[in-house]
Amino acid sequence: MNRIVSFAACVLAAASVLASCQPKVTPDGKCEITSFTLSSAKNAALPNDVKGVIDASAKTITLVIPTSVSATSFIPDFTVTENDVVKAGGAALVSGETSVSLTDGTKISVSDDVSVMSVDYTIAIKPNDEIAELVSICFKQADNSALTADVAPEAITPEMIVRVPGEAFRKELVLTVTAGQNDAIKVNNSDVESGASIKVDTNFPIDITVSDQVAGKSSAYVLKVGKILEYVLSKIGQYTEGTIADFVMTINPADDCPYFAYARKVGDEKYNNISVAKWDGSAFTLVGPTGAADASARAASKPRIAFAPDGTLFLQYYGAEVSNKPTVKKLDSGWSLIGEAGITPQNGNSSSSYNYPLFVHPASGQPAFFWNGNTKNEASYRVMNYSGFNGTAWSSNVVSNAPALGSGGTANSGMYYASSCVIYDGKVFIGSSFNEFGYYVHEVNADGTLKPIVENFIPAGAPHGLPASLALKGDGQGGLYLMGADRATNTMQIFTVDASAGTLKPFGTGIPVTIGSSGGVTEDAGFAVSPTDQLVVIAYDGAENIPVFEYLDVDGGYQWSKFAAESPVAAKSAYFLEFDSKGNGYIAYQSADGIELYSVGLEADILPE
């Protein structure tokens, strides 16, 4: 018995000795999850690893799960501080082994085995848009002293162009970028936080990459910084054939080239004849045989040209074959007479003070024109007449719904002064002026009758309109613009045609002009409107007849801004301004040496490469 007791005592003593030899565990004072990841290798439903974002203060673990993933049970890989045990719903979790349901609000408990410390983490599930996208990109004025406003591309696309003022062009600028949900951004291979900024050298294309690591997608963008393009005026050259007395310019719709019809005298010719030339983009060339008229007995003058939609050229002039009457010819293999020479039944007024257009009506494909009779005691005298070709013969008549001579209170009131013609969308429009009346705008029917759009418009405070430099232009979008004189303010004014209200509305500021002793405008002027961006350009006589070229700055309060021109020579004729269908503009006028031709267009676009 004593032996048994002694043996038990020895066992207890040995156990006590062994226990006293184990190291004592000291609590680390922490109870934390230090990492939490859902790897795609252990979670087949995930396209990529999902790394949890742990907020130690808020005790949250945020997991961004692709919206395409419907699974809610995952095997997490996690790390914790020393001696910590992780549980979910009371069940222990083993990192990389235990599957657990992880939904928004799931609690993950952590307890320290060697202390009383414990903590609960809350799972926050955020969906991912699975798109790697650039949301916004901008050069902010606040970050760039060379800018007067924030500048951004019109849309976010793989290849973008943004335009800055000349002061900021090809400079180092600060770019601000924002990407989509959970997306990482690199600008020229440098990491940039979404919503943050980075300096970039705009001499080179800017490469931007946006990556969505959760979705495993990326998108690439290239941004090029160009200059806000300005309109520039450039002299093309000067053209002459002998001595030029008079000319007009019109765009041929078939080849988009400017054509010139002009009265000229070459060598020892006794009388002026008529020729046609064009600028083909690189050189001036004659069109058709030179000398279209029979000027053996008398001079030809007042040339006009018009084109059919297919580019067929019709030429009109006064004199030559028949004195004081107009003749029309067509260019085919040579100059072919249309109908008879000297079309009108009475003499037409071909004075340079009057301006009447030749046109080809799209409905008939035949030439027509308006004119002012110069034979006294005839119904056509001093009023608006129409002549049209029907394919075999010309017919002429007095226009019934235009002012009659003497109908304004004085003997010369209602005298037909001038018209200007526009063809758009198969329709012909004409703007006209009459002595002591206002301005008129009509649509011209195929038979020459007129459909009123604006009748007898008189600028506010003025006694009537003035005929000088009258012009009607279209903007290629259905809009009509008329240039006339405002006698109340002594200005040349551009008006828009408000067809619904039957009136004209001032467009932009007026340009000061001189009203001569006869009551007319002293300065010659002309204008045109671009069909591509509605740029309005004007040319007019300045001091000593030196041309002034301006455009209407719609962004600058509708004020006129001057083009810089290369020392233009003095003008001795009216100005002709036309735009082709692509928005290339041309300005022509006659100097002492010939026809001066300028181009109007946007400056060359220089983009980084």
Average pLDDT over residues 340-357: 84
Task: Compute the distance between CA of residue 605 and CA of residue 587 in angstroms, rounded to an integer.
Answer: 22
158 and 213 share a domain? yes
114 and 142 share a domain? no
Q: Answer yes or no: is pLDDT of 19 > 70.
A: no
* CATH number of the domain that residue 196 is part of: 2.60.40.2340
What stretch of H or E contains 93? none
> Which tokens is 429 given?
């429009």
54 and 140 share a domain? no
More confident residue, 566 or 13: 566
Q: Answer yes or no: is pLDDT of 249 > 90.
A: yes
123 and 142 share a domain? no
Q: What is the pLDDT of residues 183-230, one digit of tens each?
A: 999 999 999 999 999 999 999 999 999 998 777 789 999 999 999 998
Cα 188 to chain centroid distance, Å, stands at 30
Average pLDDT over residues 453-466: 91
Domain boundary, last residue among 227, 245, 275: 227
Contact of 429 with 444, CB cutoff 8 Å: yes
73 and 152 share a domain? no
Q: Which residues contact 483 (CB under 8 A, 6 or more apart)?
A: 469, 470, 471, 472, 473, 492, 493, 494, 495, 525, 526, 527, 538
144 and 194 share a domain? yes
Average pLDDT over residues 269-287: 97
Q: Answer yes or no: is pLDDT of 140 > 50.
A: yes
Query: Measuring CA to CA, how many Å separate 140 from each of 151, 152, 196, 365, 524?
Result: 6, 8, 12, 56, 46
> Which tokens is 199 given?
């300096």
Kindly state whether residue 157 falls inside one of the protein's structural domains.
yes
Percent of the chain with pLDDT over 90: 80
Q: Answer yes or no: is pLDDT of 15 > 70.
A: no
Quickly list DSSP for 33-61.
EEEEEE-TTT-TT-SS-EE-EEETTTTEE
Q: What is the pLDDT of residues 87-98, one digit of tens each?
A: 999 999 999 999
pLDDT band at 355 (very low <50, low <70, confident <90, very high): confident
187 and 152 share a domain? yes
Q: What angle do CA 181, 183, 185 make, to 5 degrees?
A: 140
Question: 14 by DSSP, 3-state: which?
Answer: helix
- 9-23, 52-66, 153-167, 470-484: which has the minimum mean pLDDT? 9-23
Quickly list DSSP for 500-527.
TTTEEEE-S--EE--B-TTSSB-S-EEE
Domain boundary, last residue among 227, 244, 265: 227
Q: What is the pLDDT of residues 28-69, one digit of tens each?
A: 889 999 999 999 999 999 988 999 999 999 999 999 888 888
Kindly state whether residue 118 falls inside one of the protein's structural domains.
yes
- CA-closest candidate to residue 248, choices 288, 212, 275: 275
Kindly state whether residue 307 falls inside one of the protein's structural domains.
no
105 and 140 share a domain? no
pLDDT band at 555 (very low <50, low <70, confident <90, very high): confident
More confident residue, 171 or 354: 171
Question: 65 by DSSP, 3-state: which?
Answer: strand
Kindly state whether residue 465 falls inside one of the protein's structural domains.
no
Burial of 85 (0-12, 13-18, 19+ CB in 10 A): middle
Give the domain range for residue 45: 33-127
Domain boundary, last residue among 227, 257, 273: 227
Kindly state whether residue 76 falls inside one of the protein's structural domains.
yes
122 and 160 share a domain? no
- CA-closest candidate to residue 372, choices 402, 330, 332, 331: 402
Task: Compute the distance between CA of residue 64 and CA of residue 60 in angstroms, rounded to an integer.
Answer: 13
Count of domains observed in the chain: 2
Q: Give pLDDT, residue 181.
A: 81
Q: What is the pLDDT of residues 521-537, one digit of tens each?
A: 888 999 999 999 899 99
Q: Answer yes or no: is pLDDT of 597 > 50.
A: yes
Q: What is the largest CA-CA distance in the chain?
A: 167
Q: Answer yes or no: is pLDDT of 16 > 70.
A: no
Q: What is residue 570's DSSP assignment?
A: P
Kindly state whether residue 471 falls inside one of the protein's structural domains.
no
Q: Answer yes or no: is pLDDT of 138 > 90.
A: yes
Quick one: CA dihedral 98, 99, 101, 105, positive or negative? positive
pLDDT band at 353 (very low <50, low <70, confident <90, very high): low
Task: Compute the distance between CA of residue 67 and CA of residue 129 in angstroms, rounded to an integer.
Answer: 7
Instruction: Indicate the Cα dihedral angle 442, 490, 492, 549, nearest 10°.
Output: 170
139 and 185 share a domain? yes
Average pLDDT, the chain: 92
Q: What is the pLDDT of residues 563-586, one digit of tens each?
A: 877 789 999 988 999 999 999 999
138 and 220 share a domain? yes
Model confidence, pTM: 0.75
Q: Give pLDDT, residue 22.
A: 53
Q: Give pLDDT, residue 3.
A: 44
Question: 133 by DSSP, 3-state: which?
Answer: coil
Average pLDDT over residues 13-39: 72
pLDDT band at 1 (very low <50, low <70, confident <90, very high): very low
- CA-closest candidate to residue 391, choices 368, 425, 422: 368
Average pLDDT over residues 169-182: 94
98 and 51 share a domain? yes
Kindly state whether residue 114 falls inside one of the protein's structural domains.
yes
Q: What is the pLDDT of residues 399-425, one digit of tens each?
A: 999 999 999 989 999 999 999 999 999
Task: Compute the distance between CA of residue 337 and CA of residue 383 in angstroms, rounded to an integer.
Answer: 27
Q: Give pLDDT, residue 339.
A: 97
More confident residue, 17 or 286: 286
Q: Answer yes or no: is pLDDT of 113 > 70.
A: yes
Kindly state whether residue 211 falls inside one of the protein's structural domains.
yes
